[in-house]
Each structure stands twice: as C-alpha cells, then as structure tokens.
Amino acid sequence: AYFKKAISEAASEWATHKSLIDTTGKGIRRSVPPNFAYFHVEFGLDRGFAHHIEDEEAFPTDFGRQVLEGLLESDEAGIPLRSRR
C-alpha cells in the first residue's frame, strides 16, 4: 500500500495519463506497452504496480529510494543510489 500511495501522489505532479497500472496476474510485459518508460514495483511473483513516466527528465531518478526511505522513516537509510549513466 505504501508504494501504491506514493505512485498515486507522484503521478499528480508528472502525469496526465492513468497514474497506476496494476500488474497483478499479468506481469509487467503485458501491462505496459513496449518502449514506454515506467517505474515498477513488484511484491512476490505476481503482484505489482507500474507507473508510466511521461517526462523522464522531470521524474526523479531516486523515486524508489525516496519511497523506501519514507517507509523506513529515515532520510539516510543506507540505500545506495547507482547512476544509470
């Protein structure tokens, strides 16, 4: 529920399309069209949520990390951030 809430709240800042895509039972490949940028979180083998990223420049690269730090109630939870470049 924590990631679902965070994705829904974040979507209002960066998105105009459907904010939350439920990937439960379908997986990410059948839920998000090819060549779309997205953020995805999965719980177990068949439950998850995705969010289509419309503006990759505006979407924070450390969004997942920020959500985890909020969940752990720590600004410095020791979660490493690796650069994609």
Name the one residue in this structure whose structure tokens are 């060549």. 35
Residue 50 has pLDDT above 80, yes or no: yes
Give the residue, 2 or 23, on which the prediction is more confident.
Answer: 23
Average pLDDT of the segment spanning 59-78:
76
Residue 45 has pLDDT above 70, yes or no: yes
Residue 85 has pLDDT above 50, yes or no: no
Query: To 10 degrees, the CA torsion angle through 62, 75, 81, 78?
Result: -150
Do residues 52 and 37 lie in contact, with contact meaning Cβ atoms separated by under 8 Å?
A: yes
Q: Is the pTM of this model over 0.85?
A: no
Residue 73 has pLDDT above 70, yes or no: yes
